[in-house]
Amino acid sequence: MSRTIQAPRGTFDVLGEQALARERLEADARRILERAGYSRIETPTFEATELFARGVGESTDVVQKEMYTFADDGDQSYTLRPEGTAPVCRAYLEHGMHKLPQPVKLWYLSSFFRRERPQAGRYRQFWQVGAEAIGSDDPAVDAEIVLLVAELLEAVGTKGVRLRIGSLGSPEARVAYREQLQGYLRAHEAELSAEVVSRIDLNPLRAFDADHPGTRRVMERAPRLLDALAPEDAEHFAEVLAFLDAAGLAHEVDTTLVRGLDYYTRTVFEFTSDALGAQSGVGGGGRYDGLMEQIGGPHTPGMGFAAGVERMLMAAGAQPTAPVPLDLYVAYAGASHRAAAFRLAADARRAGHAARLELGGRSLKGQLKQADRSGARYVAILGDEGTSLKDMETGEQRTVEPDTVMHHIRGDL
């Protein structure tokens, strides 16, 4: 016997209740984001590898270890999108969206691909809802994006939500701070993990992310970027926090918040859920005022978020889903009535009713059992003695002219 084929490691099928829960989440996201002026964007599943190398950052885990990259068209290198911001920025530039009123507000719900070690809440293909507001550096944009995530998490029913927020400042302040931090890390090299030491030159900020106990002890006393912000960045951050306060959104300022992608400037934030295990991040984002230039465009500020669909739903727990109510179940006694039954079900659906026909080759008795199980409001039975219609709510059954079934049920539904 040949080996059965299974879904690839870190991927999953979406079935039954999960499919319904995702549909609901998508409807919530659309309602919340579209009423705030965000319109939907779809970008290709794969892009030129260079877009992510330049946009996300060469030194990030995503680019260094996690991309699904393949060659096509001879020597052109493509990558399955690991995130949504760089593709949306590429589309903004490609379609000259700077000519539209700014900021341009876009949202997406798409799947993304990262070659991560699969575990609960971490997959190799996963879905994110995200939004980007491009073309304004107003702190109100930052606060709006954060608020929209909070609203989405509330609508989805995600439990135990906490918001941490920080600021990475401008690139110039970051350069100066980076050198200060590198000096501090070198002075404590002996106490740090080998991985952190190897990244002192490339990405010293990531040391704040480390789990290694020695590193954590050192990082507790490390200089903080938030204390080294330029005055205009500190002012921008204070305004973002004031907007969140005005909107009544609880938040913790986190001086060590570092996001995994390189393009962030100024505001960064992350929502976590206490209802999740190790992979507790449900959504996050930030401002990326330098990203457009990195991918070859003019200086254009931007702010966005991405929230994981699987994690939001996991942290929401099982939610009752109501099955789609069935108006009419069409049963028939014997093959000679099949065509008429088929037509009745098709006509009923065309008229806007939810109608189902026996397709499993069951006996009439079996069909009636199915009809009962399906929760149908009406059951039509086509047989040699004519057509009967049973109202499953009242139990009343009557013989009707075959062509009048629709007429009889229409009044009630």
- Contact residues toward ligand AMP (CB under 6 A) are 83, 114, 116, 121-123, 126, 128, 260, 281-284, 306-308, 310-311
Which residue number, 121 or 169, has a Cβ lying nearer to ligand AMP?
121
Least CB distance to ligand AMP at residue 280 (A): 9
Least CB distance to ligand AMP at residue 96 (A): 27
The Cβ of residue 2 has, within 10 Å, a number of other Cβ atoms equal to 4
Least CB distance to ligand AMP at residue 157 (A): 15
- Reported as half-sphere exposure (CB side, CA atoms, 13 A), residue 266 has a value of 26
User: In b/e form, how buried is each residue of 88-104, taking b as 16+ CB within 10 angstroms?
Assistant: bbbbbbeeebeeeeebb
Which residue number, 315 or 380, has a Cβ lying nearer to ligand AMP?
315
Q: Which residues have CB under 8 Å from 294's CB, separation 6+?
A: 54, 55, 263
Least CB distance to ligand AMP at residue 353 (A): 39
Least CB distance to ligand AMP at residue 209 (A): 12
Least CB distance to ligand AMP at residue 25 (A): 13
Which residue number, 169 or 284, has a Cβ lying nearer to ligand AMP?
284
Least CB distance to ligand AMP at residue 261 (A): 6
Which residue number, 308 or 377, has a Cβ lying nearer to ligand AMP?
308
Which residue number, 251 or 349, has a Cβ lying nearer to ligand AMP?
251
Least CB distance to ligand AMP at residue 10 (A): 8
Which residue number, 81 or 390, has a Cβ lying nearer to ligand AMP?
81
Which residue number, 269 or 329, has a Cβ lying nearer to ligand AMP?
269
Least CB distance to ligand AMP at residue 271 (A): 7
Cis peptide before 103 (omega within 30 of 0): yes
Which residue number, 204 or 284, has a Cβ lying nearer to ligand AMP?
284
- Reported as half-sphere exposure (CB side, CA atoms, 13 A), residue 354 has a value of 10
Which residue number, 108 or 123, has a Cβ lying nearer to ligand AMP?
123
Which residue number, 182 or 280, has a Cβ lying nearer to ligand AMP?
280
Least CB distance to ligand AMP at residue 256 (A): 16
Pairing between β-strand 355-357 and β-strand 69-72 as defined by DSSP bridges: unpaired
Of 178, 152, 176, the C-alpha closest to 163 is 152
Q: CA-to-CA distance for 71 and 49, rounded, in angstroms?
A: 10
Q: CA-to-CA distance for 2 and 368, rounded, in angstroms?
A: 40
- Nearest-CB residue to ligand AMP? 308
| Range 381-386 contact pairs with CB under 8 angstroms and sequence separation of 24 or more | 381/331, 381/332, 381/333, 382/330, 382/331, 382/332, 382/333, 382/337, 382/340, 382/341, 382/344, 383/332, 383/333, 383/334, 383/337, 384/333, 384/334
